[in-house]
Chains A and B, each alone.
Chain A
């Protein structure tokens, strides 16, 4: 039977993370972490609560959370645009646990000694271009088309200078070096990596849903407070109607994200396509919300002083970490309509 309510346990999980982010990822902390976009103390809190290995099976030392539960956490992370590479770390940890033979590494992730990341582009000449968390991660998993590769490093963060970027994300190129560890090859490598990409899309969708919800609140609060021509901005229908449209799209993307998360366990054959759908839908909805909210701040929206710009920049940049969106639409069409096509 259709049931769109969260369980008591899921609500408790949400509350725990909402409180943690409220305390340790305030907007002041987000601003303080600019431009690198990494808050070492917040990451320590993430490790302490077990967030990086949330989705890792209990047998492998994780919390064994379902995709839906991880998505709930990602949504709270997105609401606060928390300055830690949580989605990449979770997906990389899940991938390392799934591949097997990396118990020590997974243990090091759980213990906070290793912050793992996932390459979203194929390496060229041994270098992963613009790797997520590339400036701060201790390990990265990459797929070169045939082999699933693990590259590690040690020392102090940031390891390499961040590539300055729109989202203030700690991205940087990552040189895999001469002898990365080969985790898997051929079909197995391809399947593990495809699963990781589907997860990354799903949890990024959830983060974007959360981001959009805060950005909407910011915009709606502003148009209630700010007056022009003797009335609150929110009195004008042109403003009301656009906000109603973007709020509607935001709710749609949220439902689609929960459906995709639910399908991970309940309808695995549909799950990868749904994750991609949720990702594309949330990317567009979150940005449209931010664009409208920023617009209704007038000139203030363009200044660094107001918070909406922090959301606006990330709404555009977060999904693009996974590459250009147009080819993903095309790939989705093939998966949905051309028989025998699988998610890349």
Chain B
């Protein structure tokens, strides 16, 4: 056994730090917080122009000579700087799916455009009436006489759609078969007549969207995978949802709270750190952080060894998201009134309050805790299937 994680990108760290220092601007972070849009056009363009987006991709689809490890190191430094790249993350996921499941025509059309930064693709799976049960999608795609398709329906949480060019749309093309067998995927241009984008604001500050599709006409060449074969494409796509890496680490939130608690007193004049129960909260937090790290490590290890069953990822996701929520709530209790204050006037510059808001969604997106528990119960514990069949 060996638990030592070696830094795969160690040789590129210094260059990546230089890149960030030379190219990123602190006001972009402010802007991201103000607008709730986790995508920066200027940055995206710069990454594309320097070949960072195309690093590691096949030459025939626009791949560049840039070392993919260097590109990853830069992406991690960008995240460390405080900027999110949701637009690239979803574009990368969809382009990766198309590379495996798309026709040659659509591969040649969309992947080079994505790597040049011209195409930004968002996800259109979830609907107002179905989230965890994605295969229950109602958005309809119906064949037209000219061999194309007409699409009607709506999607929820199409984040970054207002900055994007395309949506990767899960649609129903057959209502006469079990739900998983009547789905088809399309890559739909967002500037087509009939597409509407409406903002949705969230408790964590992120802006997301509802998107509406009214008689949107698309040619058959926008289809990804077979007609009624959409669920197979989705299974490919969902694998890429779990691909995020941990990146470089700074002090943990627990370490920051522990330091704050040692430097500040509560309203009764005692040092926060010495207040009853505070040390236990901080110790538990360290234990649960370590377990989150180890369950994530096991998922990556299983994936690299080709022994991943899907249970490891579900276990890790369930634990780390539930722990994250418990931890943030406990830290809020620890900080008291100052922990509730937004931004710079608050304890730790509002960090805990901000993260507390964000942690709410961690047990929901990317597979809710209830779905994760179902995976563990059915596949790990081999308990009988409780959910009704179609």
Contact = CB atoms under 8 A, between A and B. Distances in A.
A232 B286 contact: no
Contact of B258 (A235, A249, A258, A337): A337
A336 B315 contact: no
B135 interface: no
Q: Which of A4, A7, A224, A243 has most chain B Cβ within 10 Å?
A: A4
Contact of B383 (A68, A240, A329): A240
Looking at chain B's contact residues, is the secondary structure mostly helix, strand, loop, or mixed?
Answer: helix
Interface stretch (A12-20, A29-37, A259-267): A259-267
Interface residues of A, number: 50
Interface residues of B, number: 44
Contacts of A259: 3, 290, 294
A241 B283 contact: no
Contact of A1 (B2, B283, B373, B377): B2
Nearest to B258: A337
Contacts of A6: 1
A1 B305 CA distance: 12
Q: Which of B1, B4, B376, B380 has most chain A Cβ within 10 Å?
A: B1
A240 B386 contact: yes
A333 interface: yes
A259 B1 CA distance: 9
A277 B278 CA distance: 17
Interface string B222-242: 000000000000000000000
Contacts, number: 146
Nearest to B323: A252
B370 interface: yes
A255 B318 contact: no
B283 A244 contact: no
Contact of A337 (B255, B378, B382): B255
Contact of B3 (A2, A231, A253, A280): A2
A336 B286 contact: yes
A247 B376 contact: yes
Contact of B283 (A251, A256, A266, A333): A333
B295 A241 contact: no
B384 to A, nearest CB: 5
Nearest to A261: B1
A252 B319 contact: yes
Interface in A231-250: 231-232, 234-237, 239-241, 243-245, 247-249
A231 B388 CA distance: 14
Nearest to B387: A237
A326 interface: yes
A304 interface: no
B377 A4 contact: no
A8 interface: no
Contacts of A223: 383
Q: Which 8 residue pairs of A and B lie closest in terms of their CB atoms, listed nearest first? A: A333-B279, A252-B291, A240-B377, A337-B258, A244-B376, A255-B294, A244-B373, A234-B383
18 contacts: A2-B3, A2-B297, A220-B381, A224-B384, A234-B381, A235-B384, A243-B381, A243-B383, A244-B318, A244-B381, A256-B290, A256-B291, A266-B4, A281-B291, A330-B283, A333-B258, A333-B278, A336-B286
Interface of B: 1-6, 254-255, 258-259, 262, 273, 278-280, 282-284, 286-287, 290-291, 294-295, 297-298, 300-301, 315, 318-319, 370, 372-374, 376-378, 380-384, 386
